[in-house]
């Protein structure tokens, strides 16, 4: 709350102006007075006021007309109307026109100052809500078409429950964002949201990350470490890429889900935890179960409510909205002016296959805005930025034969090889272009039989 407010008081009676301004000044506020509605409108357009007090009945332009014109001119300051000839119809009209309050003259000093205090509190609350919306906007799910409409309907349904959710989808489709949204719309929203990428943590460290350890429990354990499950108590834990969790850890996770207790490495007693579990994977878990790479009993524990996220190529109608959203984010983060995308540029983006999905699109929008010339992103800019080798589906993928999983792996392999070639085997650049973490690209390449390190040695 500011130490003082800057107020504008509009009334055609000199005595009223003098008494109100004196009361405001004694309370520590600054008051500007005006005896004419037309002049008051010009003042409000040029100066920033925290609150405007206006009489209703004045010669020439009356207070209600002033109120209407203030709103039309986009003056943000709230307006309090005053009148010694008040009646219900007048108050109703003032409220409909956007008045914050309607005071009947004579107005006591206490009532006057309370009105100012309440108005300032309201402004502060609106400012805090606006900042909160801006923060949440960083995690906003942007969608427009039917594919995501179905997902959002399922999300709303499951968010209000305590059910475990298994989010399925390709890399870059926004699985963590969906998990966070489920948490934010659940009864646990006031609790913590804790994440762990099971593919990014070395197998020998994942138990400590999940369940914690006591000091001295193993070499290098110099102090107690509280695991992710304890950190998420009374909240939500999100286990990303659970399909890559080692089998021995799957058994330990199953016990925690069954008993609601964790035991730190080196600990001597179980610790009760109240945690909602959301998992995600880009893998076919049922196939992993058949291959005995994923425990069937754990599968049934986590596969309570599957939520399948469509790849970006199956929700192309969302691309314009996503581009606009990401462009606004990039501008806000860098202090840039908005850069429009031409219709031809947008059509080219909609036609692209987006193997890296929404994450790749986000990175591409930033790249396009850096490359933009003449104040816009045009078709030539998009053609320059899009990876030539992956802007369409490789012929071998499109006409190949075999199981779907095999053909998808072939496509992924060609995409990664093309991007590595384009970036001269610079893994960091290739990972960024594909919207992947560097470690994830190494892991994905290894799974697809690509020896990244050998390629780099050949380059050298």
Report whether pLDDT(3) > 70: no
> Is the model's pLDDT at 269 over the cut of 60?
yes
pLDDT of 22 over the 60 cut: yes
pLDDT band per the 50, 70, 90 thresholds, residue 84: confident
Homologous superfamily of domain range 6-136? Response regulator (3.40.50.2300)
What confidence score (pLDDT) does residue 137 get?
47
> Could you report the per-residue pLDDT of 231-266, keeping only the tens digit for each?
999 999 999 999 999 999 999 999 999 999 999 999
**Buried b or exposed e, range 151-177, using 16+ CB within 10 angstroms:** beeebeebbeeeebbbbbbbbbbbbbb
42: tokens are: 């010009």
Tell me if 6-136 shares its fold with 315-459.
no
pLDDT confidence of residue 136 = 47
Instruction: Using alpha carbons, list the distances in angstroms from residue 383 to 6, 328, 346, 388, 419.
Output: 53, 22, 11, 8, 16
Q: Decide: pTM greater than 0.75.
A: no
Q: Which residues contact 121 (CB under 8 A, 6 or more apart)?
A: 1
- DSSP secondary structure string, 159-226? HTS---EEEE--TTS-HHHHHHHHHHTSTTTTS-EEEEETTTS-TTTHHHHHH-B-TTSSTT--S-B-
How large a percentage of the chain has pLDDT more than 70? 90
Q: What is the pLDDT of residues 111-161, one digit of tens each?
A: 999 999 888 888 777 666 555 544 444 567 999 888 899 999 999 999 999
Query: Given a cut of 90, is residue 442 above it in pLDDT?
Result: no
Q: Where exactly are the structural domains of the chain?
A: 6-136, 146-310, 315-459
Both structure tokens of 277: 């579990």
**pLDDT, mean of residues 399-407:** 57
Distances (CA, A) of 212 to 229, 230, 276, 291, 366: 8, 8, 18, 30, 38
146-310 topology per CATH: Rossmann fold (3.40.50)
Q: Which residue has the higher pLDDT, 241 or 390?
A: 241
298-332 residue pLDDT tens? 999 999 999 999 999 999 999 999 999 999 989 98
Altogether, the residues listed in the chain come to a count of 460
Q: Tell me the average pLDDT of the chain.
A: 87
**How confident is residue 93, by pLDDT bands cut at 50, 70 and 90?**
confident
Reading the block at residue 176, the tokens are 């963590």
Geometric angle at alpha carbon 376, from 374 and 380, rounded to 5°: 85
Q: Which residues pair with 341 in a beta bridge?
A: 377
Looking at residue 240, its pLDDT comes to: 97
Question: Residue 447's pLDDT is what?
Answer: 81
Domain 315-459 of CATH type 3.40.50.2020: no
pLDDT at 414: 78
What is the pLDDT, as a whole number, of residue 128?
Answer: 61
**Residue 4 near residue 32, CB atoms below 8 Å:** no
Round to whole Å and give the CA distance between 296 and 301: 9
User: 393 or 117: which carries more pLDDT confidence?
Assistant: 117
Cα 68 to Cα 96: distance, rounded to the nearest angstrom: 10
Residue owning tokens 């593919």: 199
pLDDT band for position 402 (cuts 50, 70, 90): low
């Amino acid at each position: 709350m500011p130490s003082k407010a800057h107020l504008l008081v509009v009334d055609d009676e000199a005595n009223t102006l003098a008494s109100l301004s004196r009361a405001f000044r004694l309370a520590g506020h600054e008051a500007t007075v005006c005896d004419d509605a037309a002049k008051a409108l010009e003042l409000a357009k040029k100066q920033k006021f925290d609150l405007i007090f206006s009489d209703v009945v004045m010669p020439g332009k009356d207070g209600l007309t002033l109120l209407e014109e203030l709103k039309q001119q986009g003056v943000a300051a709230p307006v309090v109307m005053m009148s010694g000839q008040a009646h219900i119809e007048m108050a109703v009209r003032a409220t409909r026109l956007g008045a914050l309050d309607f005071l009947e003259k004579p107005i006591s000093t206490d009532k006057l100052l309370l009105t100012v205090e309440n108005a300032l509190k309201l402004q502060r609350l609106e400012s805090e809500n606006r900042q909160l919306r801006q923060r949440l906007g960083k995690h906003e799910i942007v969608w427009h078409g039917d594919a995501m409409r179905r997902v959002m309907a399922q999300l709303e349904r499951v968010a209000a429950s305590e059910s475990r959710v298994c989010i399925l989808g390709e890399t870059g489709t926004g699985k963590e964002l969906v998990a966070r949204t489920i948490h934010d719309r659940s009864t646990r929203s006031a609790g913590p949201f804790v994440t762990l990428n099971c593919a990014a943590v070395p197998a020998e460290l994942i138990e400590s990350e999940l369940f914690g350890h006591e000091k001295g429990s193993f070499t290098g354990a110099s102090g107690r470490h509280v695991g992710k499950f304890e950190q998420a108590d009374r909240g939500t834990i999100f286990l990303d890429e659970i399909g890559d969790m080692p089998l021995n850890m799957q058994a330990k996770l199953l016990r925690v889900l069954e008993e609601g207790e964790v035991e730190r490495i080196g600990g001597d007693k179980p610790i009760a935890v109240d945690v909602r579990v959301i998992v995600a994977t880009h893998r076919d878990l049922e196939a992993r179960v058949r291959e005995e790479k994923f425990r069937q009993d754990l599968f049934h524990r986590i596969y309570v409510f599957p939520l399948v996220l469509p790849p970006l190529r199956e929700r192309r109608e969302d691309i314009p909205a996503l581009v606009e959203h990401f462009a606004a984010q990039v501008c806000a983060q860098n202090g840039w002016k908005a850069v429009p995308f031409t219709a031809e540029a947008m059509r080219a983006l909609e036609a692209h296959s987006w193997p890296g999905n929404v994450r790749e699109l986000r990175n591409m929008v930033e790249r396009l805005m850096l490359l933009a010339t003449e104040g816009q992103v045009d078709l030539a800019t998009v053609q320059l930025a899009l990876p030539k080798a992956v802007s369409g589906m490789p012929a071998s993928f499109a006409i190949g034969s075999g199981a779907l999983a095999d053909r998808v792996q072939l496509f992924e392999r060609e995409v990664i090889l093309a991007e590595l070639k384009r970036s001269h085997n610079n893994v960091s650049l290739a990972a960024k272009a594909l919207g992947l973490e560097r470690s994830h690209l190494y892991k994905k390449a290894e799974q697809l039989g690509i020896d990244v390190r050998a390629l780099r040695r050949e380059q050298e």
